[in-house]
Every structure is written in structure tokens, then in C-alpha cells.
Amino acid sequence: MADYHVDWPWLMAGPDPRGDEALRGMKEATSAPDRERWLGVLSDAASSADPAAVERYAIGLAQAGRYAESLRFWRLLVEHLPGTARVLLNMASCLMSAGRLDECAHVMEECARRCRDDDPASSVVRRRRAELDGLRGRLDREQRLLEARADAYRELAAHDRASLSDLKELCRILASLAQQPGSGVTAFEVAEVAERIRAQAPDDVGGMELLGMARILTDDREGLAEVLRRLERVAPDSPVLAAVRAQVTDPGFRSGSDELKRRWDDICRRASHGDPGAADELRRELRSHPHIEQLKVGLLFAVYGQAADGQGDYEEARRLALELAADPRAGHHTHFHVAQFLWNLGERDQARRQFGLALATSESEEDRETVRLAVRTVGAEIADPADGAGG
């Protein structure tokens, strides 16, 4: 899909020479250490709890691409300054920069509801809502067009009438859609088409590049390394190879990964606290990243909590827990959490097995002792590898 850019300048809460200087410094900085230094100035000022300083720190976090952290401060500011349209407009700007357009629209609607006609910000609210509506409409049209094209190429592929170039175009379209919330296209569908291309033309450089892209989307690092080694041999000037090399060495790549992890942490936290929309966000993320354990466990927490509150179904929680228990790639923390859920859901044999796997995959004595404590607390009896006795 086409890139978009909407320029929504930050709205400042009165003059603050030190904070404004730091924000200018961040904007003009040419290195990550310089940006972090200026962000530290903003952080120190925000420790005073002065709302203007906190706002500037939230802006600085957003400028650094740390959107989840920035949003936490905007939410606090909205709670403490409920009648201030400026705060909601800045929160919407942060969501826009993060690409979270549905949430941005929700905040803008709330801003319009709270903003009085005589508020100086009312004209800004109207203009930005119109810009956002126009942007979302354009992106929706582009997504529908891509989905229609994908369906046409899928039809050709299903009847074995797709040429190699058709399959490549299908793979590119699916990769674009897989990164759009609500598209229904998963990274694994992209990978399936990429594998089909490789089977048909194993030495085709374009096909290798698409397979590398699919490996990135599915977080298959070993598979990606294999593709990159082949590209280095047959196409050392490949732009995909150059892009991946740049990502590995560019500090911004790690920053982007950290931001994604922080966003997932934020969604999981809200889901565990009963936020009704967070479980739906987790489901959307899982459609694009079905292999991420953190999201699966987070959804299990959310669904189980909804059931406990009388607003959900324990059967869905049981299904999610059993799916996680059956995943051969599950790690220690997943085994540990799933064991407790399964025990509470009455799946005692499965729970014992998960407790055993949690012990076996512990990386430290602290982890092992935590598992033993949980086993004793619920009254399970399992074989402890450390002493061969029941726990």
C-alpha cells in the first residue's frame, strides 16, 4: 500500500524555554546518543510532575519513536486534564505517527465531543478530523483494491494457471496486506506463496528476495539466514540483501523492534486489566504474527479474565491453553503460565505435564524455584528432575 504522511504539529502548553530547546535539539540531532541526551533533559524536567514538562517529555518520546511509552503519558495527562482539547489532539498525533489510525479516530471523536465551539482548538479539531477521514478513506480504498487483486491472483493459482510473475505479484500483495490490521492475511500465507515460487524457480533471484521477505514476516531467522547466504552467492548486489544488512547494523532497526515489543507489552497489560478492546487488538496482532508466544499468552490472560468476570467463555480459554500446550516451540514462561491456567480449568494431567516442561526449560535456579512454589501451591505432584521426587 502507498505510504501516507499527515503533518500534525504538536501543540505546546505555554512557553518552556528548557523543554523547547530540548525538543529542538532532538529534532536537529544527527546521532542516537544526542537524541537520548536531549530526551534525558526532558525526562529530568518531567520528574517535577509539571504538566507542561510532562507533555514535552511525551512529545520527545514520540519523536524518538517510543510511541507506547509516549501514549502512557498522554493517557495520564488526559485523566488529569480532562477538559483540555490540546492534550487529546497531541495524543491523536502520537497515534497517527504510530500508524494506529483506528485508535486515532476514536481519540479525535472524543476530542470533538469534549471541545466546546468557543474553544480555540475547535478549528484544529475539525480540520484534523477531516484530514483523518480522508486518509482512512483513501487507505480503505487502496486496501480493497489490493484485496480484489489478491483474490484474482489466488483464483489463477488455485487452478494452476498462475505464471511465475503472477505468483510473485500475489506474494508482494499478500505481504503488503499482512501488515494491515484486519486484512485477514497472515504471514504464513505469504510464506506459502513464496515457497511455491521457490519450488517452481529455485534459482530465480526475485523469488529468493520474496522468500527472504516472507522469512522476515514469519520471524524465521534460520530460514532468513539460509536465503541471505544464497543471495550473497548469486546476487550480491540484491537490494533486499543490502536492506537486511542495513537493518542489522542500523540502531533504528533495534529501536523499531523494541517499539513493537513495547506495543505488544502495552496491549497485553491492558488486556490483563480488563480493557474490552485490548483482546480484540491481540486477535488482530495474532492474525499477522501467529507465532508470537507473548501475544498468545496475553490473549489467554484476557479471555480467562473475561470468563471469570462473567463476560466470556471458559471454553475459549481452555482451547487457547491447550493450543499453547501443544506448541512444540513453547518456552519456559509459556509452559509455566499455561500449566496454571490448565490446572484452574480442570485439565490436571495436561497441567502436570506443563509444570514438568516449565521445570525442564528453566534457565536459572530462581525460575525452577518459582515453578516448584507454584506446584506446591496448587497441590500438583510432578517429578522434579533435581531430586527425582514429587514436587
> For 110-131, what is the mean pLDDT?
87
> For 73-94, what is the mean pLDDT?
88
Residue 89 near residue 11, CB atoms below 8 Å: yes
| Dihedrals phi, psi of 189, to nearest 5 degrees | -70, -40
d(CA 101, CA 92): 9
Residue 38, pLDDT > 80, answer yes
DSSP labels, 112-134: HHH--TTSTTHHHHHHHHHHHHH
| Dihedrals phi, psi of 264, to nearest 5 degrees | -65, -40
Burial class of residue 6, CB neighbours in 10 A (0-12, 13-18, 19+): middle
d(CA 346, CA 349): 9
Region of 160 on the Ramachandran plot (φ > 0 left; ψ -120 to 50 alpha; else beta)? left
352 Cβ neighbours under 8 A, 6+ residues apart: 339, 380, 381, 382
Residue 3, pLDDT > 70, answer no
Task: Name which of 201, 231, 200, 199 is nearest 213 in CA terms.
Answer: 231
Task: Name which of 167, 166, 168, 172 is nearest 146 in CA terms.
Answer: 172
Q: In the prediction, which pLDDT does 254 show?
A: 45
Widest distance between CA atoms in the chain: 75
Task: Name which of 351, 336, 356, 259 is nearest 293 in CA terms.
Answer: 336
> For 107-136, what is the mean pLDDT?
88
Q: In the prediction, which pLDDT does 250 show?
A: 40
Residue 57, pLDDT > 60, answer yes
Q: pTM here?
A: 0.50
Q: What is the pLDDT of residues 234-287, one digit of tens each?
A: 777 787 777 776 555 444 444 454 566 677 888 888 887 878 788 888 888 777
Q: In the prediction, which pLDDT does 358 show?
A: 86
Q: What is the pLDDT of residues 166-223, one digit of tens each?
A: 999 999 999 988 877 677 888 899 999 999 999 999 888 889 999 998 988 888 878 8
d(CA 317, CA 378): 19
Q: What is the pLDDT of residues 101-119, one digit of tens each?
A: 888 999 999 999 888 877 8
Which grid cell sits at 33? 546518543
Question: pLDDT band for position 333 (50/70/90)?
Answer: confident
d(CA 369, CA 297): 21
Residue 233 near residue 245, CB atoms below 8 Å: no
Which grid cell sits at 117? 465551539
